[in-house]
Structures are given as structure tokens and as C-alpha cells.
Amino acid sequence: MALPHSDLLRLKRWNTPTVYNGWEQITKFDIAADAFNLEETRDFMPQMGPMVGYAVTLIVEPSNRAHQSQPNAWAEYRKYVAEQPGPKIVVIQDLDKPRVIGSFWGEVNSNAHRALGCVGTITDGAIRDLDEMTNAGFKSIARRLCVGHAHVTPVQWGCEVQVFGRTIRPGQLIHADKHGFLAIPAEDEAKLLDAAIFMDGNECDTVIAAARAASQAGQAETLERLAIAGSEFRKASQKKFDRQGEW
């Protein structure tokens, strides 16, 4: 079941690295290989902060005019998007990668998708109308900007997609910001918020507090404080998750 909207709002208050710090404490997956993007992403609206939502998925190939022979593609795709629970993030695999030439996104599509309950997109293709998309409140993480839309049309939707080196499934919870994205395994969703909040507090109570207090102490005392703080951090993580955490 989807998380309560209140939990999603709270998750949005944290950046994606903080959410990752919580996720690594509760997951059985490989924290060095799974869930996050493996290729570099670019956040074109970092001032909007993180976005959180459930993936609706789409494949496009703007270079290929033949896809426009599907007369009902737009209507059927929009119906699929409308029927999914929100908030939603549109995750698009562009088959033209790495030679990206056209954009699915622009002023019209961003406004239309906002009307369908979408908060933003992650696309390994391009976007355009950057100012207009920002004005629509539609966050975009993409590969680059481009000028035109070429022959873009929905090709396949509601399927697994490959973006920035990561497979995304429809309905998967995603947390994303200027650092990249984290696609949360379904079994980790329920404990994610509590874990992220705890680990952020754990850092503030121990290792960060010790480092900030260094200006009031000599070098030897600072080194001792940092060592003690790291030990306290590990003990708190061990008690909460039976894991030691980063420090």
C-alpha cells in the first residue's frame, strides 16, 4: 500500500542523501550498487528542492517518425497516468540515448501532467521550455536541454524502464533531488521515514556536534571528541537498527 501523504510530505523535507542514510540501515539490498542512479543526472530546478512520488513509466523515441502511426497513443497514455495513485513522478526512457534530439517535455506537457497529479519527471532524454516548466511547478531531472520535440509520442507505458543506469518499475517510490535519485524497494517503504529522521538526528547529536565544537578546543581535545562522537554514533545506530552506519 502507498504511504500516507503526510509521510511523503515529511520525506520531502530531507535531501536524497539523508534519505539514503536512513535507507541503508533498513535494507537488505546492496547499498553500494542498488536503488540509486549509476549515471550522472542533472537537476534543472534545484531551487524546488526534493521531489517524492510514485513512478509512472514511459518509453519514447523522438527520432522515429513511425511511432506516430499509433493514433490513440496519447489518449491511452494519459488515461494510464490519470489512473495511477499520486503524487506521481514520470520516469521516461529515451531510446535515442545517447544521441538525444527531441523532448517529450515542454510547457504544454508539464502543465497537462500537473493536472494529472504528477509533480515532476526523471528522463534520460532532454527537456525544453525550462522557464515555463518551472513556472508550472513541474520539477525536471534530465540529461540535457534541447530545442525541439522531433517526432515524440508515447511508445510504451506502464512497463519497466532503464534510466541513468537504473531499472525503475511502475509504482516504485522515488526520492530525487540535485544529487540524483533513490528508487525505494517496496519492502523498505514503511520504515524509510523513521530511519531517515533517526539517522539525521544521530549525526546532529554526535559527529556533527563534535566537529562544530572544535573551535572551542585544542587539537588533541578535538581529536578525542571526534573519536568519542563516532563511537556514540555507532552505538546509537547499533541500538536502533543493529547496524553501525556511516561513522
More reliable by pLDDT, 2 or 92:
92
pLDDT for res 219:
75
Q: Is the pLDDT of residue 12 over 90?
A: yes
Q: Is the pLDDT of residue 236 over 90?
A: no
Q: Is the pLDDT of residue 71 over 70?
A: yes
pLDDT for res 231:
85
Per residue in 201-234, pLDDT (tens digit) is: 999 988 888 887 776 667 787 778 778 888 888 8
Concatenating the DSSP letter of every residue in the chain gives: -PPPHHHHHHHTTS-HHHHHHHHHHH-SS-TTTSSB-SS--EES-GGG--EEEEEEEEEE-TT-GGGGG-TTHHHHHHHHHHHS-SSEEEEEEETTTTS---EEESHHHHHHHHHTTEEEEEESSEE--HHHHHHTT-EEEESEE-S--TT----EESS-EEETTEEE-TT-EEEEETTEEEEE-GGGHHHHHHHHHHHHHHHHHTHHHHHHGGGGS-HHHHHHHHHHHHHHHHHHHHHHHSS----
Percent of the chain with pLDDT over 70: 98
Q: Are residues 74 and 181 in the same domain?
A: yes
Contact 90, 139 (CB under 8 A): no
Burial bucket for residue 211 (CB in 10 Å: 0-12, 13-18, 19+): middle
What's the mean pLDDT in 54-67? 97
Q: Are residues 99 and 197 in the same domain?
A: no
Q: Is the pLDDT of residue 99 over 90?
A: yes
pLDDT for res 215:
65
Q: Is the pLDDT of residue 30 over 70?
A: yes
CATH number of the CATH domain containing 18: 3.50.30.40
27 falls within a domain: yes
40 confidence band (pLDDT: 50, 70, 90): very high
246 falls within a domain: no
pLDDT for res 151:
96
Q: Give how many domains the chain has, as a whole number.
A: 2
Per residue in 146-198, pLDDT (tens digit) is: 999 999 999 999 999 999 999 999 999 999 999 999 999 999 999 999 999 99
Q: Average pLDDT over the chain, rounded to whole?
A: 93
Q: Are residues 24 and 144 in the same domain?
A: yes
103 falls within a domain: yes
Q: Are residues 222 and 113 in the same domain?
A: no
Q: Is the pLDDT of residue 235 over 90?
A: no
2 confidence band (pLDDT: 50, 70, 90): confident
Q: Are residues 207 and 113 in the same domain?
A: no
247 falls within a domain: no
- Domain, as residue range, for 122: 5-185
Beta bridge partners of 174: 53, 183
pLDDT for res 237:
86
Q: Are residues 163 and 46 in the same domain?
A: yes
59 falls within a domain: yes
Q: Are residues 16 and 42 in the same domain?
A: yes
pLDDT for res 247:
66
